[in-house]
Amino acid sequence: MSSYRDLEIYQIAFELAKKIHYASLKLPQYELYEQGSQIRRSSKSVKDQISEGYGRRRYKPEFIKFLIYSHSSCDEATSQLEMIKSLYP
């Protein structure tokens, strides 16, 4: 494995971030800079934390720490999606 891009979990997170990005742009205008911005940032953070952790993979505790951060960002994005779904069914 020569890059974080080779990680299947990174590829999944990247595609999900793209889908969330485009979907968030369909929110009402007044939500684009509130809820929309938050869901875009948290979903992109999932992939970013994976890639940063991969860069520190030589130090296993550091790699694990960033994977935990990634999981936390995933939980945040899920919570944001739940909120959006409840407001705009």
Average pLDDT along the chain, 89 residues, taken 10 residues at a time: 94 98 94 93 98 95 96 97 92
Residue 88 has what pLDDT? 87
Q: Which domain holds residue 76?
A: 4-87
Structure tokens that stand for 40 in this block:
């875009």
The CATH number that applies at residue 33 is 1.20.1440.60
- In this structure, are residues 25 and 32 in contact, taking their beta carbons and an 8 Å threshold? yes
Residue of 89, 85, 87 whose CA lies nearest to 20: 85
Q: How many domains does the structure of the chain reveal?
A: 1
Residue 25 has what pLDDT? 95
Residue 66 has what pLDDT? 97
Structure tokens that stand for 70 in this block:
């990634």
Q: What is the pTM of this model?
A: 0.90
User: Angle CA(50)–CA(5)–CA(57) in degrees, nearest 5?
Assistant: 50
